[in-house]
Amino acid sequence: MVVKVGTRVLTDAAGRLDPAQIANLAEQMHGVISSGRKVVLVSSGAVASGMGRLGLARRPTDLAHLQAIAAIGQSLLVEAYERELSARGYHAAQILLTADDLNHRTRYLNARNTLLTLLELGAVPVINENDTVAVEELQTTFGDNDRLAAMVTNLIRAPLLVLLSDVEGLYNGDPQQPASRVIPTVAKLDRSVFELVRDRTTGLSKGGMASKLEAARMATAAGGNVIIARGKAPNVLLRIIAGETVGTLFLAQGRAVAARKRWIGFTAAPKGKLIIDAGAVRAVEVLGRSLLPAGIVAVEGRFRKGDVVSVHDTSGREIARGLVNYDHEETVRIKGLHSKRIAEALGYSPYQEVIHRNNMVVTSAQGG
């Protein structure tokens, strides 16, 4: 299982790293591992740790100081995990990742091999985004480590992702309203679920729950299960593995997706976009067929043969992602044409499909 821990779970009221909470989390992980399961931890908290070590009362706002404080705090964070885990017979293994590490196929596989080997050795991988170089992560209030945790879940094909934060789960209304209740189980992560965290006036997603739902979409679409729960709830991880109803459980949407397709559909950043007509949408989304040039109505971005591109309907909804057989210039020239006319347009016809179904993942089932 992959466990993501948010900063607010690890810190005290002053926003400093809480050693007692680290110890509590390590004890729970010991219980999980003793049950025969393996644990990968995705942990926030580097900036908060650095603030505590430097005695800062207020989080800086400029990027250079945030990166420096994260660098100082990361060592303290891993040191705290190592101290508590080693007391229970394990070792913490620090892994710092950037989006590029998982976007690049070879580096992605290297990260996967390292993680699986660490688990074989009985270590607990402690993963964080490399804050000293990942600029966007430090400038975003919520979500990046939720997304990273979903990617790690797909990377190692873990059957369960647990997102621990300061909320009890997904509510059926405004959490501030007394009548709102936590939804115990979400069987289908469709548009109605995403609407629960959208502002009715602006239509924009709001708060940390939006990023958690997106992480849940990524993991459940690939065949995993996800639980969102309050990290400071007593023995939350032990109660989860005991089968208790804790937080909100998002059920896997269909069968588990193969490792290679998880990278195509839910990790690699698309280099371009293909807009397709209604007939092609049905062929790809419902019938599971390849994408032919005849169904393409527009091409956006610059991509090369073999790049990952996203496939959208004419309303902008993403349908799928896949490895494209032609570069962007070739695709522009053959869009809307019958496959038999590819050679006429290009002077050659190595492929009948723009994206073969074996290199494509449908991503639209959960909506949102």
Amino acid identity at 25: L
What's the rounded Cα separation, in Å, for the pair 14 and 355?
52
Please report how the helices 259-266 and 105-120 are oriented relative to each other, as an axis angle in degrees rounded to 10: 130
What's the rounded Cα separation, in Å, for the pair 71 and 65?
10
Q: CA of 51: how far to CAs of 14, 170, 191, 325, 361, in Å? A: 10, 31, 39, 49, 42
- What are the tens digits of pLDDT across the range 49-83? 898 889 888 888 888 888 899 899 999 999 999 99
- What are the tens digits of pLDDT across the range 80-91? 999 999 999 999
Domains and their CATH numbers in the chain: 2-261 (3.40.1160.10), 270-362 (2.30.130.10)
Average pLDDT over the chain reads 90
Q: What is the dihedral of CA 261, 263, 268, 272, to 10 degrees?
A: 0
Pairing mode, strands 296-301 and 248-250: unpaired
Per-residue pLDDT at 360 exceeds 70: yes
Write down the residue that tokens 């007394």 correspond to: 178
Q: Which strands sit side by side in the sheet containing 308-312, from one edge to the other? A: 296-301, 272-276, 308-312, 318-323, 360-362
Give me the pLDDT at residue 365, please: 57
Pairing mode, strands 318-323 and 360-362: antiparallel
What's the rounded Cα separation, in Å, for the pair 184 and 171?
9
- What are the tens digits of pLDDT across the range 94-126? 999 888 888 889 999 999 999 999 999 999 999
